[in-house]
Amino acid sequence: MAPLDLEIHVEISDLEEDNEAKATEAIRNFRALPANTLETATNATFAFYKDFANEFADDEDVQEWLPQIEEPAKVWEHVTFPDYAVAQPGYEDDSPWYVVLECECDWEEKQGLQLVFRNGSEITEAGEYDGLPDWSDDMHDASGDGPYKN
């Protein structure tokens, strides 16, 4: 289940001499994550799935292909992890670096699932892929456990 058991190449975005140490630390932290790290994002990822399923509950075309995931632990069976991640800085000079995984998921084929790791070590987002490491002001936690935004 855990993609952190896989060999994941990390690409670096916006690397400059003054942020090289932060980038290196984030990548080192990400590579050292234990295999059970995703457990902290299970409820958030399941909430992302449930929001999508509820949004299209009356759409017969979507219901034909939408997987029926009954419990949070089963959500990872419907996620395909990439073979690479992107390390990138936050928006402010003093921001931490983030490692971002853009995953495919069976329920949101268009946007996919984004997992964001602050400093490469803490999952701070599990939700629709938007390419942004930080939450914008109009985002909020929809799962109750922190990392899912909508």
Domain ranges of the chain: 3-128
The pLDDT score that the predictor gives to residue 3 is 46
What is this structure's pTM? 0.83
Query: In the predicted model, what is the mean pLDDT of residues 58-73?
Result: 94
CA dist., res. 117 & res. 114, Å (int)? 10
Q: Where are the alpha helices (DSSP H) in the chain?
A: 20-31, 42-55, 60-65
Say whether 59 sits in a helix, a strand or coil.
coil
Please give the DSSP secondary-structure letter assigned to residue 53: H
Using pLDDT thresholds of 50, 70 and 90, give the confidence band for residue 34.
confident
| Ramachandran region, residue 120 (left: φ > 0; alpha: ψ -120 to 50; beta: rest) | left
